[in-house]
Amino acid sequence: MAFIPHKYYVSTSLYEFKEDKGSLQVTIKIFKDDFINAIKTNNGIDLYMKDDLNSEEIKFKINSYLLSNLSIFLDNKKYELFYLGLKKDTEMITCFLEIENLPDFKKIKLENTILFDLFENQKNIIHLKKGNKKRSFILGKDSPNSVLEF
Protein backbone atom coordinates (compact mmCIF):
# COMPACT_ATOMS: atom_id res chain seq x y z
CA MET A 1 0.00 0.00 0.00
CA ALA A 2 1.47 3.34 -1.02
CA PHE A 3 1.53 6.31 1.32
CA ILE A 4 0.83 9.81 0.15
CA PRO A 5 3.26 12.00 2.09
CA HIS A 6 1.76 14.96 3.86
CA LYS A 7 3.31 18.30 4.58
CA TYR A 8 2.53 18.55 8.29
CA TYR A 9 3.41 16.18 11.11
CA VAL A 10 0.93 16.78 13.88
CA SER A 11 -1.17 14.97 16.44
CA THR A 12 -4.02 16.42 18.46
CA SER A 13 -4.84 15.36 22.01
CA LEU A 14 -7.67 16.17 24.38
CA TYR A 15 -6.99 15.65 28.09
CA GLU A 16 -10.29 16.03 29.91
CA PHE A 17 -10.55 15.83 33.69
CA LYS A 18 -13.97 14.49 34.72
CA GLU A 19 -14.31 15.71 38.30
CA ASP A 20 -17.55 13.79 38.91
CA LYS A 21 -15.82 10.52 37.96
CA GLY A 22 -12.35 11.37 39.29
CA SER A 23 -10.84 10.43 35.95
CA LEU A 24 -8.69 11.93 33.24
CA GLN A 25 -9.84 10.85 29.80
CA VAL A 26 -7.35 11.19 26.95
CA THR A 27 -8.16 11.10 23.24
CA ILE A 28 -5.27 11.29 20.75
CA LYS A 29 -5.72 11.71 16.99
CA ILE A 30 -2.74 10.82 14.80
CA PHE A 31 -2.35 10.48 11.04
CA LYS A 32 -2.82 6.77 10.36
CA ASP A 33 0.25 6.32 8.14
CA ASP A 34 2.52 8.05 10.71
CA PHE A 35 1.18 5.99 13.61
CA ILE A 36 1.49 2.72 11.69
CA ASN A 37 5.07 3.67 10.77
CA ALA A 38 5.86 4.41 14.44
CA ILE A 39 4.49 1.06 15.64
CA LYS A 40 6.36 -0.80 12.90
CA THR A 41 9.63 1.04 13.64
CA ASN A 42 9.38 0.67 17.42
CA ASN A 43 7.62 -2.67 17.80
CA GLY A 44 8.19 -4.55 14.54
CA ILE A 45 4.49 -5.02 13.76
CA ASP A 46 2.93 -3.81 10.52
CA LEU A 47 -0.58 -2.73 11.47
CA TYR A 48 -1.58 -2.63 7.80
CA MET A 49 -1.24 -6.41 7.81
CA LYS A 50 -3.45 -6.87 10.88
CA ASP A 51 -7.24 -7.03 10.74
CA ASP A 52 -7.98 -6.72 14.46
CA LEU A 53 -6.22 -3.68 15.90
CA ASN A 54 -7.83 -4.37 19.27
CA SER A 55 -6.44 -7.90 19.67
CA GLU A 56 -4.42 -8.46 22.86
CA GLU A 57 -1.11 -8.68 20.93
CA ILE A 58 -1.71 -5.41 19.09
CA LYS A 59 -3.09 -3.63 22.17
CA PHE A 60 0.06 -4.60 24.07
CA LYS A 61 2.34 -3.15 21.35
CA ILE A 62 0.32 0.05 20.98
CA ASN A 63 0.09 0.44 24.76
CA SER A 64 3.87 0.03 25.03
CA TYR A 65 4.49 2.72 22.42
CA LEU A 66 1.99 5.18 23.87
CA LEU A 67 3.12 4.76 27.48
CA SER A 68 6.76 5.22 26.50
CA ASN A 69 5.82 8.57 24.93
CA LEU A 70 3.20 9.96 27.33
CA SER A 71 3.74 11.09 30.92
CA ILE A 72 1.34 12.78 33.29
CA PHE A 73 2.21 14.28 36.66
CA LEU A 74 -0.47 15.70 38.94
CA ASP A 75 0.90 17.86 41.76
CA ASN A 76 4.37 16.34 41.05
CA LYS A 77 3.15 12.72 41.33
CA LYS A 78 3.36 10.52 38.22
CA TYR A 79 0.22 8.64 37.15
CA GLU A 80 0.06 5.80 34.63
CA LEU A 81 -2.41 5.90 31.78
CA PHE A 82 -4.53 2.87 30.94
CA TYR A 83 -4.90 2.19 27.20
CA LEU A 84 -8.55 1.46 26.29
CA GLY A 85 -8.32 0.91 22.54
CA LEU A 86 -8.45 2.72 19.23
CA LYS A 87 -10.63 3.62 16.31
CA LYS A 88 -9.39 4.04 12.75
CA ASP A 89 -10.82 5.79 9.75
CA THR A 90 -9.46 6.63 6.33
CA GLU A 91 -6.74 9.07 7.44
CA MET A 92 -6.66 9.09 11.23
CA ILE A 93 -6.24 6.77 14.18
CA THR A 94 -7.87 7.81 17.43
CA CYS A 95 -6.44 6.31 20.65
CA PHE A 96 -8.35 6.30 23.93
CA LEU A 97 -6.64 6.26 27.34
CA GLU A 98 -7.73 6.98 30.90
CA ILE A 99 -6.56 7.40 34.47
CA GLU A 100 -9.16 6.60 37.13
CA ASN A 101 -9.49 7.39 40.84
CA LEU A 102 -7.67 10.70 40.69
CA PRO A 103 -7.67 13.32 43.39
CA ASP A 104 -8.37 16.93 42.52
CA PHE A 105 -5.14 18.68 41.49
CA LYS A 106 -3.71 22.16 41.22
CA LYS A 107 -0.78 21.49 38.86
CA ILE A 108 -0.43 19.18 35.88
CA LYS A 109 2.65 18.38 33.82
CA LEU A 110 2.03 16.71 30.46
CA GLU A 111 4.69 15.18 28.26
CA ASN A 112 3.88 13.93 24.78
CA THR A 113 6.75 12.78 22.54
CA ILE A 114 4.64 10.76 20.11
CA LEU A 115 6.34 10.57 16.70
CA PHE A 116 9.27 12.77 17.78
CA ASP A 117 11.60 9.86 17.01
CA LEU A 118 10.38 9.74 13.39
CA PHE A 119 9.79 13.34 12.37
CA GLU A 120 11.99 16.32 13.20
CA ASN A 121 9.09 18.74 12.65
CA GLN A 122 6.46 16.77 14.60
CA LYS A 123 4.12 18.95 16.66
CA ASN A 124 1.67 17.64 19.25
CA ILE A 125 -1.26 19.93 19.94
CA ILE A 126 -2.65 19.53 23.44
CA HIS A 127 -6.08 20.64 24.67
CA LEU A 128 -6.67 20.35 28.41
CA LYS A 129 -10.08 20.75 30.03
CA LYS A 130 -10.67 20.91 33.77
CA GLY A 131 -14.06 22.14 34.86
CA ASN A 132 -14.86 25.28 32.90
CA LYS A 133 -11.19 25.99 32.17
CA LYS A 134 -9.59 25.04 28.88
CA ARG A 135 -5.95 25.49 27.93
CA SER A 136 -4.18 24.64 24.70
CA PHE A 137 -0.52 24.45 23.77
CA ILE A 138 1.83 22.93 21.22
CA LEU A 139 4.66 20.56 22.08
CA GLY A 140 7.68 19.98 19.85
CA LYS A 141 11.04 18.23 20.06
CA ASP A 142 12.57 21.27 21.73
CA SER A 143 9.69 21.55 24.23
CA PRO A 144 8.18 18.09 24.82
CA ASN A 145 6.26 18.98 27.99
CA SER A 146 4.20 21.72 29.57
CA VAL A 147 3.24 22.54 33.15
CA LEU A 148 -0.08 24.20 33.94
CA GLU A 149 -1.47 25.43 37.23
CA PHE A 150 -5.15 25.84 38.00
The answer to the question of residue 66 being in a domain is yes
Domain around 30:
10-132+139-149
How much is the pLDDT for 4?
53
The answer to the question of residue 3 being in a domain is no
The answer to the question of residue 83 being in a domain is yes
Q: Find how far residue 150's CA is from the centre of its chain.
A: 22
Q: How many Cβ atoms are within 10 Å of 38's Cβ, its own excluded?
A: 22
| DSSP of 37-105 | HHHHHHH---GGG-S-TTSHHHHHHHHHHHHHHEEEEETTEEE--EEEEEEE-SSEEEEEEEE-SPPP-
Give the mean pLDDT per block of 10 residues along the chain (150 residues). 63 93 95 91 80 80 94 95 90 94 90 94 95 93 90
In this structure, the strands spanning 10-18 and 123-130 are parallel
The answer to the question of residue 5 being in a domain is no
The answer to the question of residue 1 being in a domain is no
The answer to the question of residue 4 being in a domain is no
The answer to the question of residue 92 being in a domain is yes
The span from the CA of 22 to the CA of 7, in Å, is: 39
The answer to the question of residue 61 being in a domain is yes
Please give the tally of structural domains in the chain: 1
